[in-house]
Amino acid sequence: MTDSSTRRVAALGECMIEMFRRPDGSLTQGFGGDTLNTAVYLARLGVPVDYVTALGDDSISDDMVAAWAAEGVGTGHVLRVPNRLPGLYLIEIDAAGERRFLYWRDRAPARELFALPQSAELCAALEGYEVIYLSGISLAIWGEQGRERLFELLERVRARGGKVAFDTNWRPRLWPDVATAQVAFDRMLRHTDIALPGVTDLRDLYGDADADAVLARVRDAGAAEIVLKLEQPGCVVLQDGTPVEVPAVKVDRVVDTTAAGDSFSAGYLAARLRGEGPVDAALAAHRLAATVIQHRGAIIPRAAMPA
């Protein structure tokens, strides 16, 4: 496994095979995953980052690992499970241009990240990272037992001086019921140092009335640093206990909002790791997200990256 002393961030989650159905019925294949998108943008911004997941021993899993390595993302903590395949999802576009997602992920190895023979060694290695980053999707796929091992890991990371960053990314279809999700999110927020919640996520999960209620919920859970993504373009940063609204960068034409939040997280964390303050980091995050939504797909061409 990778020597964790050389890496500052470990991004945990799942990358899936992405199939896109064109109007003529033909399919194109790619890869997709929220925390993977963040890891790629962190690497492009010069942050040493490892992606932590589990894949199969098939050729597509090989292609995934090779693609991540080509982006500068560390792959030393990608566990490989014999005779298994990654999850898959299909994107369909309706007549109005709206996207529909169909998933096949129940047997994906990533769901067992904390229940494999290599998991204990993996957790020991992750304790040495400066930042552990994960999302609400990550939290959902590991199940109750996996989450228990995750929370034990996060306690050890924080006890050693590391930080935990969490992007809420609430996806109802991944959870058995809302009550289970609320319990898991409550515990996760109590283990979080840098919270990157979305107003829509937590309003829909908890029924919070507005952005102020969401902010209060996350603050009361104990997160030291909060960046609240608003429904309208922009965010609120809690700096020294005072909410500061940071408007988004104006974009004349939005092409595709895929990975807007994932790239925002990367831009914010990269700036904070460079030593910039929360408000300046939020501005940097907005700049990256504004660039990403002007291109099709989750990962934009390298040449399009903002300076």
CATH of the domain at 180: 3.40.1190.20
Can you state the angle between helices 199-206 and 211-221, rounded to 10 degrees? 80
Q: How far apart are CA 15 and CA 207, in angstroms?
A: 30
State how far Cα 194 lies from the chain centre: 13
Instruction: Convert the pLDDT of each residue in 59-94 to its tens digit.
Output: 999 999 999 999 999 999 999 999 999 999 887 766
165 pLDDT higher than 60:
yes
Residue 260: what pLDDT?
92
For residue 248, being part of any structural domain is answered with yes
pLDDT value of residue 96? 56
Has residue 149 got a pLDDT over 60? yes
Averaged pLDDT score across all residues of the chain: 92
pLDDT at 28: 86
> Whose CA is closest to 60, among 108, 124, 111, 120?
108
Residue 23 lies in a domain: no
Domain that holds residue 66: 4-14+34-84+109-304
User: Which one of 34, 193, 201, 262 is the catalytic residue?
Assistant: 262
In a domain, 20, yes or no: no
- Tokens encoding 169: 């990314």
> Residue 100 domain-assigned?
no
Does 168 map to a domain? Answer: yes
DSSP track, 106-127: TT-GGGGTTSSTTHHHHHHHHT
| Residue 94 bears catalytic tag | no
Query: What was the pLDDT predicted at 2?
Result: 43
Q: Is the pLDDT of residue 98 over 70?
A: no
Number of structural domains in the chain:
1
| Residue 157 resides in a domain | yes
Residue 190: both structure tokens together: 């109590």
Residue 22 lies in a domain: no
pLDDT in tens, 23-69: 788 888 888 899 999 999 999 999 999 999 999 999 999 999 999 99
Average pLDDT over residues 129-138: 97
CB-based contact 190:219 (threshold 8 Å): no
Alpha-carbon Rg for the chain in angstroms: 18
7 pLDDT more than 70: no
Task: Work out the average pLDDT over 289-297.
Answer: 91
Question: How many CB atoms within 10 Å of residue 306?
Answer: 14
